[in-house]
Amino acid sequence: AVDLVKNFGDASSWLSRAPVVQAVSGVSLQVRRGETFAIVGESGCGKSTLARALMRLLAPTSGKVLFDGNDISDTRGADLRKLRKDMQFIFQDPFSSLNPRMSVGKLVGEPLEVHAPELSAQQRRDRVADLLRRVGLRAEYAGRYPHEFSGGQRQRIGIARALASGPKLIIGDEPVSALDVSVQAQVINLLGDLSRDMGLTLVIIAHDLAVIRHMSDRVAVMYLGQIVESGPTAQVYDSPRHPYTQALLASIPVMGSTPGRDKTTVLGEMPSPAAPPQGCRFHTRCPHAQAICKTDRPALEGDTSDGHQVACHFWDSLASAAPLPNPQPK
């Protein structure tokens, strides 16, 4: 994604009194083939909007989305349907995303009908059985319906359905946050196995860093529509440079102890995305804010070759001065 912007609310119409909300404001990021890339931030930070814009479930207001080197920002119609074969989405709530009147076999087989119409009915059934086994379900489940399954099993069905078209990229919007804690790790491990075994590229959206720590190669931390820090996950974890990332890490309880609920940090409420603060958008909550933070937007920059970048005027001095909020044993 290059300098991506997504606004909601129509500023050009006099009928519209709704404020224009810039949910995603100038985000650039590059996801590498085969990696697992996590996008983390509090609810309302624009991460879901970003994910949908990357998938072209939403058209960006400005900026570009490139996929395999092709600009897909304006792709529509039949070309967009073709693109769906390569890019699939996994939703947060596997129940509401699965049609309750369709059997599991039909749910997983439907994308095959669209993207692999050359398959015979028997070949399709075999493929569905394969896909179910691949996600850790029994092939016999094909005849059952979504309500007969637990949340974790339903998410596995959603994943099998996403895999059916043979995608290169899967984007998951909080794929485990609606699940019981005990099940979260299983689904995360499944996604990790699939990405390794099938060479899939994964983009995982999460609201806390704990969920993605062991599964993602790189992470971008979002705040009010902008990326404030990005880099290799271990780096960002072990030496967070942005005060917001430091606060997020400090607020991590035991993994998923409050499933489905965003954790408000010690720093208080996030300002409305409809009226983001000038300068550094984090200045209203930042314990280190100075005068310049209220006027100048800090650029995303870094000094290392590993790609660890941060958008803070003072990250250099803070990184050396601030004690780590949540030291991890080495």
What residues make contact with ligand SF4 under the rule CB under 6 A? Answer: 242-243, 280, 282-283, 286, 288-289, 293, 298, 312-314
Residue 40 C-beta: closest distance to ligand SF4, Å: 16
| CA 115, chain centre distance (Å) | 25
Q: Where are the alpha helices (DSSP H) in the chain?
A: 47-54, 77-86, 104-115, 121-134, 151-163, 181-198, 209-212, 233-238, 243-250, 315-321
56: left (phi over 0), alpha (psi -120 to 50) or beta: left
Contact 161, 107 (CB under 8 A): yes
* Minimum CB distance to Mg ion smaller for 48 or for 155: 48
Residue 315 C-beta: closest distance to ligand SF4, Å: 7
Quick one: 136 exposed, middle or buried, by C-beta within 10 A (0-12, 13-18, 19+)? middle
Structure tokens at 321: 């001065």
Cα separation of 116 and 80, whole Å?
A: 16
* Minimum CB distance to ligand SF4 smaller for 72 or for 293: 293
* Minimum CB distance to ligand SF4 smaller for 111 or for 240: 240
Q: Which does 298 bind (CB under 5 to 8 A by kind): Mg ion, ligand SF4, none?
A: ligand SF4
By CB under 5 A, tell whether 153 contacts Mg ion: no
Q: Which does 112 bind (CB under 5 to 8 A by kind): ligand SF4, Mg ion, none?
A: none
Q: Which does 285 bind (CB under 5 to 8 A by kind): ligand SF4, Mg ion, none?
A: none
Residue 227 C-beta: closest distance to ligand SF4, Å: 13
Three-state secondary-structure class, residue 77: helix
Residue 27 C-beta: closest distance to ligand SF4, Å: 17
* Minimum CB distance to Mg ion smaller for 152 or for 172: 172
Structure tokens at 120: 């015979």
Q: Which does 48 bind (CB under 5 to 8 A by kind): ligand SF4, Mg ion, none?
A: Mg ion
Residue 223 C-beta: closest distance to ligand SF4, Å: 9
* Minimum CB distance to Mg ion smaller for 41 or for 60: 41
Residue 53 C-beta: closest distance to Mg ion, Å: 13
Question: Which of positions 45-64 make contact with Mg ion (CB under 5 A)?
Answer: 48
Contact 177, 207 (CB under 8 A): yes
Structure tokens at 41: 């931030």
Q: Which does 224 bind (CB under 5 to 8 A by kind): ligand SF4, Mg ion, none?
A: none
Q: State the Cα torsion 160-165-169-8 to the nearest 10°.
A: -90
Residue 47 C-beta: closest distance to Mg ion, Å: 6
Cα separation of 296 and 273, whole Å?
A: 18
Structure tokens at 254: 């035991």
Query: How is residue 270 annotated by DSSP?
Result: P
Cα separation of 124 and 283, whole Å?
A: 55
* Minimum CB distance to ligand SF4 smaller for 150 or for 317: 317
* Minimum CB distance to ligand SF4 smaller for 15 or for 291: 291
Cα separation of 178 and 201, whole Å?
A: 22
Stretch that binds Mg ion, among 11-19, 43-51, 126-134, 251-259 (CB under 5 A): 43-51
Residue 240 C-beta: closest distance to ligand SF4, Å: 12
* Minimum CB distance to ligand SF4 smaller for 63 or for 298: 298
Stretch that binds Mg ion, among 24-32, 40-48, 143-151, 304-312 (CB under 5 A): 40-48
Binding site for Mg ion (CB under 5 A): 48
